[in-house]
Amino acid sequence: MNEYKTILVTGGAGFIGSNFVKYMLENHPQTKIVNLDLLTYAGNLENLNDIEENENYVFVKGDIRDKELVKNLFDEYDFDAVVNFAAESHVDRSIEEPEIFLTTNILGTQNLLDNAKAHWQIGTDNEGYPIYRDNVRFHQVSTDEVYGALGKEGMFTEETPLSPNSPYSASKASADMISRAYNNTFKLPVTITRCSNNYGPYQFPEKLIPLMIGNVLELKDLPIYGDGMQIRDWLHVKDHCSGIDTVLHHGKDGEVYNIGGNNEKANIEIVDLIIENTKKDLEENTYEGIDTNPDDITEDLKIHVKDRLGHDKRYAIDNTKITSELGWSPSYTFEDGIVETINWYLENQDWLDNVRSGDYQAYYENMYSKK
């Protein structure tokens, strides 16, 4: 395995990116990480407080679409790998405001690809293809949503045709396609991973799991889209990080790898597990700043709200390729992961309160209209 000297991680102040930066600093202490993040509403430097002083870590505030900035960063740090997490990531927001999803997720990715290509090229072969220096890689972090939706049966494999249904997933599918094209046309060493829904520490509370935990603690309504029977395949964020690490170091150029946690659950089941386990945790432990009476946490908090437009019914990931070819497997069961995750949010109330302040509250009130 080749260790990378310096990796550009984009979107490293977001949920998965911040977990990944820490994972890499811990597991690859010889690698320097430069985190480029625009700090949109979803980026939060508080996620990275504990590594601020790490000498192998640099934070740069900036936009992946900024051509001059990205070129200057390549010149200054001489990256030998890029892991691109930076994106607009919330489906609901993409329905309200598609344009920024297209510019960030597609054109931002293209700008990173262009700069990687220009910086790593050392010559041209007889046929006119670029030749790159050894041990370089561009890794694109994608989603199972690019495959569209499943019926009751079947799973997404890497061969499943792309059929994205939301502006978000269409922008991610486009980024996959442009990454693939740079591999095919310019032979740029590119890998892509497509993963299922992530959960774990530091997730922005507009997403299902932290949203519900936060609301349970405040005894607020738990808004469930439609009948709540939409099925997702849940992956603990630490398993996602180890999957990306595996592909980054052992994957083959030009290949796509699915990363899934083998945890299919309906949204309503998730809400029930959160009610049950938050109540249990609060019965057994006390936390500074939390005075919610566990007896008040009941199923009655659940309310059904209008379903999301074009809501995909079911996602399920077949992860045979990464498990059999690269030896990766998930380490969390959902039942253990959700207990640990609830406990993290209870212990990190300040983090949740800070993130929920600002314009989040207004956005949230507007988003969930009762049926």
For CA atoms 275, 281, 282, 283, the dihedral sign is positive
Residue 56: phi and psi, rounded to 5, are: -95, 10
Size of site (CB under 6 A) for ligand NAD = 31
Question: Which residues, including other chains, have CB under 8 Å from residue 43's CB and lie 6 or more apart?
Answer: 11, 13, 14, 37
Q: How far is the CB of 299 from ligand NAD (least distance, A)?
A: 26
State the amino acid at position 78 in one-letter form: D
Please identify which residue in 7, 8, 16, 213 interacts with ligand NAD, judged by CB under 6 A: 16
- Residue 218's CB is within 10 A of a number of other CB atoms, namely 11
Residues 86-115: x/- map of binding to ligand NAD (CB under 6 A)?
A: xxxx--------------x---x-------
Site for ligand NAD in 169-188 (CB under 6 A): 172
Cβ atoms of 247 and 193 within 8 Å: the answer is yes
Residue closer to ligand NAD, measured from CB, 13 or 282: 13
Q: Select from 345, 179, 193, 363 the least CA-distant residue to 278.
A: 345
Please identify which residue in 197, 263, 267, 277 interacts with ligand NAD, judged by CB under 6 A: 197
Q: How far is the CB of 232 from ligand NAD (least distance, A)?
A: 9
Residue closer to ligand NAD, measured from CB, 132 or 243: 243
Q: Specify the stretch interacting with ligand NAD by CB under 6 A; choose among 5-13, 208-216, 223-231, 287-295.
A: 5-13
Cβ atoms of 297 and 271 within 8 Å: the answer is no
14 forms part of the interface with ligand NAD (CB under 6 A): yes
- Residue 261's CB is within 10 A of a number of other CB atoms, namely 26
Cα separation, 70 vs 128, whole angstroms: 26
Site for ligand NAD in 51-80 (CB under 6 A): 63-65
Q: Specify the stretch interacting with ligand NAD by CB under 6 A; choose among 13-21, 110-118, 340-348, 356-364.
A: 13-21
Residue closer to ligand NAD, measured from CB, 69 or 290: 69
10 forms part of the interface with ligand NAD (CB under 6 A): yes
138 forms part of the interface with ligand NAD (CB under 6 A): no
Residue closer to ligand NAD, measured from CB, 179 or 323: 179
Residue closer to ligand NAD, measured from CB, 82 or 282: 82
Just list the catalytic residues: 144-145, 168
Cβ atoms of 340 and 237 within 8 Å: the answer is no
Cα separation, 40 vs 86, whole angstroms: 10
Q: How far is the CB of 73 from ligand NAD (least distance, A)?
A: 12
Cβ atoms of 303 and 212 within 8 Å: the answer is no
Question: Residue 348 has what DSSP assignment?
Answer: T
Residues 202-241: x/- map of binding to ligand NAD (CB under 6 A)?
A: --x-------------------------------------
Residue closer to ligand NAD, measured from CB, 37 or 318: 37
Site for ligand NAD in 25-44 (CB under 6 A): 36-40, 42-43
Q: How far is the CB of 294 from ligand NAD (least distance, A)?
A: 29
DSSP string, 284-344: H---TT----GGG--GGGEEEEPPPTT---B--B--HHHHHHH-------HHHHHHHHHHH
Q: How far is the CB of 123 from ligand NAD (least distance, A)?
A: 31
Residue closer to ligand NAD, measured from CB, 187 or 194: 194
Q: Select from 116, 103, 272 the least CA-distant residue to 187.
A: 116
Using Cβ positions, the residue closest to ligand NAD within the complex turns out to be 14
Residue closer to ligand NAD, measured from CB, 111 or 282: 111
For CA atoms 265, 269, 275, 279, the dihedral sign is negative
Please report the beta strands in the chain, taking only residues with DSSP state E, as ranges in sequence order. Answer: 6-10, 32-37, 57-61, 81-84, 121-124, 130-132, 137-143, 190-195, 197-199, 222-225, 231-236, 256-259, 264-266, 302-305
Residues near ligand NAD, by CB under 6 A: 10-11, 13-17, 36-40, 42-43, 63-65, 85-89, 104, 108, 141, 143, 172, 195, 197-198, 204
